[in-house]
Amino acid sequence: MRIFGVVSFVLAALCLAGCSSTSGVDALQLPSNETTSSVVRPAAPVSKGMRAVQREKTVETASMSGVSRIKPPAPLLDEGNASPIDENSRLGDENSRLGDENSRPFGLAEEETVNFPAQGLPDSVEPPVQEAALVSPPKRLSRAAPAMLASPVTRYAFRDAKPINFGRSSPRHLAVHGVDVSRWQGNINWEKLRAQGANFAYIKATDGGDHLDPMFMKNWRNADAAGLRRGAYHFFYWCRTAGEQADWFIRNVPKVDGALPPVIDVEWNGESSCTRKPSREKVLEKMQVFMDKLERHYGQRPIIYTSPDFYRDNLRGAFLDYPFWLRAVAAHPSKVYPGRKWLFWQYSGSGLSHGVTGRIDLNVFHGDERQWRAWLGGGGQMMADAD
């Protein structure tokens, strides 16, 4: 009987433990304790609309009364004309330029990770001259690197497989052009790319919370050796917490003097394994957490890269004190993103250049050569025209 009693006691304890434990699946569905207040905010101005962003959870839908009161601006315009976008056609000319290139994605509009462990989510007038975004410049260079700051700007010499006539608002009228790259460009001859007119390069570093572009460190080193100003970008994955993604980026992207500010790439991706679209409030909330952590670590305000449909759904009227990098490959950004100040413009996804096999994304800085140098030198806030 004594032995039987001991056995009964052990069996009862095991049953009790099994009933009270949480399964691995259920554990993934618990709300996250991550909040914006858990991240030490940098000393920088924050727009009134974003002061209401208080916290991020993985499952619960946050309440953001401050953002909900933002008055929406005029309807977003399609890139091919000056009329409001047809909600049934989404991207119009944007998609038609990219449709024949799905066999080999490139540039920022991509997600390279196939399987992420999902964390779960809740249900022809010329454009006017605009001011550039008020932005935090790259950190000042150390004394050992003045030559890079003084390096001459290489003039535009790219070709385009699908050229667009932007008229008087052509990006060719702007002085400082650059590229963005990822593993899809393969082995790049950075010296030839620089000679073609690439003065800066944004390099794919990470996406989600566990994927590192296999070409990142090679591109990071070689772009610098060729004399390009370099920066890194992160493709944001909507089924991972923002804090995890920020930590992953920080772990893999060096903090070095002279690097361009980090970029958060936010867009909808139909090829993603994460098929749910979070609410606008959740999108803004997660972005804020991610950007706060990066700004705290690198000492630079991150740049937001986005595309027309994602901007229309989430970003109009938001993040007014952040620099934007806008994709607009069929019309000037002032037509596609009316009223939005911008720092970089991605004007082509079909660029051709010596030093790269295949096509490459082409970008331009919003300002002249003097303003470019002032921004690189850490001259503070700046303004530029978009003509």
**Cα dihedral: 314, 239, 180, 174 (round 10):** 10
Are 112 and 235 spatial neighbours (Cβ–Cβ below 8 Å)? yes
Give 205-225 as a 3 state SS string: EEECCCEECCCHHHHHHHHHH
Residue length of the chain: 387
Output the CA angle 289-292-296, nearest 5 degrees: 145
Please indicate whether residue 56 is annotated as part of the active site.
no
Q: Which of 102, 116, 340, 105 shows the shortest CA–CA distance to 238?
A: 116
| Residues contacting residue 208 through CB under 8 Å, at least 6 positions apart | 113, 116, 235, 237, 240, 245, 248
Q: The tokens of 343 are what?
A: 């720092």
Of 79, 111, 244, 267, the active-site residue reads 267
Q: Which of 285, 246, 293, 320 shows the shortest CA–CA distance to 54?
A: 285
Catalytic center residues: 267
